[in-house]
């Protein structure tokens, strides 16, 4: 079978005019490739144009619904694999498509047909690209954020302030890990602060205060920690809070900030009753503004995933929906809605989520250079 008489009339092959129409398109395609200075990059890849012409003609014959000449001679086309010997990136794809678009404009007056063929070529040409950078590995799953703090901020230093310490688990573990460390732990939630005071500990001082008004002297701390707490500072006070942190951190000291990202299945559930999209974006913007002010330089911006594990919906409700520091106005309808979103994640060992986190480590200006601290 070598002509259009044997191909169904509604194939692209037939609509293009069968073998003669395809040959004319292919001839024009390679002529344009040969002529256009913009296509010189891919022209160099094709030392033997007649051979390429014959191959493309035979392939298109079958691809467009006519006789499968290429397969009959060479087997399965496996076009992507056949192009592996050549480095084909977006620039090469664009050059190839420029030649093909020019040829199509000249050879195919039917705009619908031209559009359909162009779309098919574009899809295939993009599929053939083989120089794409490999996808970055997913962020690591970190069971204990102390490991991240230890690795990035090296907190074996004398004086640390934690803003928004919650139940002070991190503060206490910091002291376990670093015998030389002293921690000042601030918390605005009065209930939590009272609980913290009930469990005193050497080298750990609790203060009831927010980051926007830190009752400590200038340049008192080597390291400030804000773990998932910056977005809890009222948005209009975020800039003040970061200025306060800059005031109490020594020149050359560091600020470690981790914040949950506004994405992922866990966030999809939480946002049903507590949508933090705006405050989390505001927290990142406040950090950007603090950097622009010149008070800090950024040493590291990284990602990790934190595990969030709940044995049951009841546990999720108690811990996440009814914290002591906020009233999320949960009525029966809201509870049912959140439960319906949560329950599909429940397995035999509870519900396990990965919460994407962003970490930024800032260096207080005026001390050592960033390179010295990072070394
Ligand atoms: C994305 C840009 C593309 C580039 C840079 C490119 C480049 C090349 C090169 C250098 C060859 C070898 C030519 C030879 O020496 O014989 C080739 C072969 C071929 N290309 Fe492409 N190509 C591209 C896209 C496409 C597309 C979109 C198709 C089909 C829709 C296609 C179909 C073919 C066929 C059928 C062969 C012959 C394979 C063989 O003989 O084993 N190419 N291509």
Whole-number Å distance between alpha carbons of 56 and 373: 59
Point out the ligand 1 atom lying closest to the alpha carbon of residue 129.
1
Which residue's CA is minimally distant from atom 35 of ligand 1?
56
| Other C-beta atoms lying within 10 Å of the C-beta of residue 191 | 11
Instruction: Output the ligand 1 site: residues, CB below 6 A.
Output: 42, 45-46, 48, 51-52, 55-56, 59, 79, 82-83, 86, 88, 92-93, 96, 121, 124-125, 128
Which residue's CA is minimally distant from atom 42 of ligand 1?
125
Return the pLDDT at 135: 73
CB-facing half-sphere around the CA of 135: CA atoms within 13 A: 3
Point out the ligand 1 atom lying closest to the alpha carbon of residue 58.
35
Return the pLDDT at 371: 40
- 8 CA distance to ligand 1 centroid (A)? 27
Whole-number Å distance between alpha carbons of 21 and 19: 6
- 82 CA distance to ligand 1 centroid (A)? 8
Range 28-57 burial, b when 16+ CB lie within 10 A, else e:
bbbbbbeeeeebeebbebeeeeeebbbbbb
β partners of residue 302 = 359
Whole-number Å distance between alpha carbons of 133 and 233: 39
pTM here is: 0.61
Return the pLDDT at 5: 45
- 121 CA distance to ligand 1 centroid (A)? 11
Residue to mutate, 96, 99, 118, 123, ligand 1, most ligand atoms under 8 Å from C-beta? 96
Domain annotation for the chain: domains and CATH numbers: 4-128 (1.10.490.10), 145-374 (3.40.50.150)
Which residue's CA is minimally distant from atom 33 of ligand 1?
56
Two structure tokens written together for 210: 């927010």
- 115 CA distance to ligand 1 centroid (A)? 21
Pairing of strands 249-260, 350-364: antiparallel
Point out the ligand 1 atom lying closest to the alpha carbon of residue 92.
5
Which residue ranges of the chain lie beneath pLDDT 70? 1-7, 134, 367-375
Return the pLDDT at 197: 96
Cβ contact 159:221 at 8 Å:
yes
Return the pLDDT at 367: 55
- 83 CA distance to ligand 1 centroid (A)? 6
DSSP designation for 201: B
Measured in whole angstroms, how far is the alpha carbon of residue 155 from the centre of its chain?
A: 28
Return the pLDDT at 296: 95
First to last CA, the chain: 71
Residue to mutate, 38, 39, 128, 131, ligand 1, most ligand atoms under 8 Å from C-beta? 128
Residue to mutate, 79, 81, 84, ligand 1, most ligand atoms under 8 Å from C-beta? 79
Which residue's CA is minimally distant from atom 26 of ligand 1?
125
């Amino acid at each position: 079978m070598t002509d259009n008489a044997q191909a169904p009339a509604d194939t692209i092959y037939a609509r293009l005019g069968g073998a003669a129409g395809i040959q004319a398109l292919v001839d024009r395609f390679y002529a344009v490739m040969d002529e256009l200075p913009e296509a010189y990059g891919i022209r160099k890849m094709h030392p033997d144009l007649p051979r390429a012409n014959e191959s493309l003609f035979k392939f298109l014959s079958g691809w467009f619904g006519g006789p499968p000449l290429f397969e009959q001679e060479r087997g399965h086309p496996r076009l992507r694999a056949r192009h592996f010997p050549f480095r084909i990136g977006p620039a090469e794809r664009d050059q190839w498509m420029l030649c093909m678009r020019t040829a199509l404009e000249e050879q195919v007056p039917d705009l619908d047909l031209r559009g359909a063929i162009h779309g098919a070529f574009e899809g295939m040409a993009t599929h053939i690209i083989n120089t794409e950078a490999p996808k970055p590995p997913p962020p690591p799953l970190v069971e204990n954020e102390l490991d991240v703090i230890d690795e990035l901020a090296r907190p074996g230093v004398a004086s640390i302030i934690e803003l928004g310490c919650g139940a002070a688990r991190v503060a206490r573990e910091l002291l376990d890990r670093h015998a030389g460390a002293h921690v000042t732990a601030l918390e605005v939630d009065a209930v939590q602060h009272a609980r913290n005071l009930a469990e005193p500990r050497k080298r750990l001082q609790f203060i009831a205060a927010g980051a926007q008004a830190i009752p400590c002297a200038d340049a008192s701390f080597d390291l400030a920690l804000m773990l998932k707490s910056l977005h809890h500072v009222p948005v209009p006070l975020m800039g003040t809070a970061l200025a306060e942190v800059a005031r109490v951190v020594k020149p050359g000291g560091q600020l470690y900030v981790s914040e949950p990202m506004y994405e992922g299945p866990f966030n999809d559930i939480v946002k049903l009753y507590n949508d933090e999209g705006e405050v989390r974006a505001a927290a990142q913007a406040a950090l950007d503004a603090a950097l622009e002010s010149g008070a800090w330089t950024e040493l590291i911006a990284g990602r990790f995933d934190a595990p969030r594990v709940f044995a049951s919906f009841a546990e999720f409700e108690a811990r996440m929906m009814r914290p002591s520091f906020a009233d999320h106005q949960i009525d029966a309808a809201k509870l049912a809605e959140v439960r319906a979103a949560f329950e599909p994640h429940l397995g035999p060992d509870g519900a396990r989520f990965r919460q994407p986190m962003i970490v930024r480590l800032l260096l207080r200006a005026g001390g050592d250079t960033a390179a010295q601290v990072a070394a």
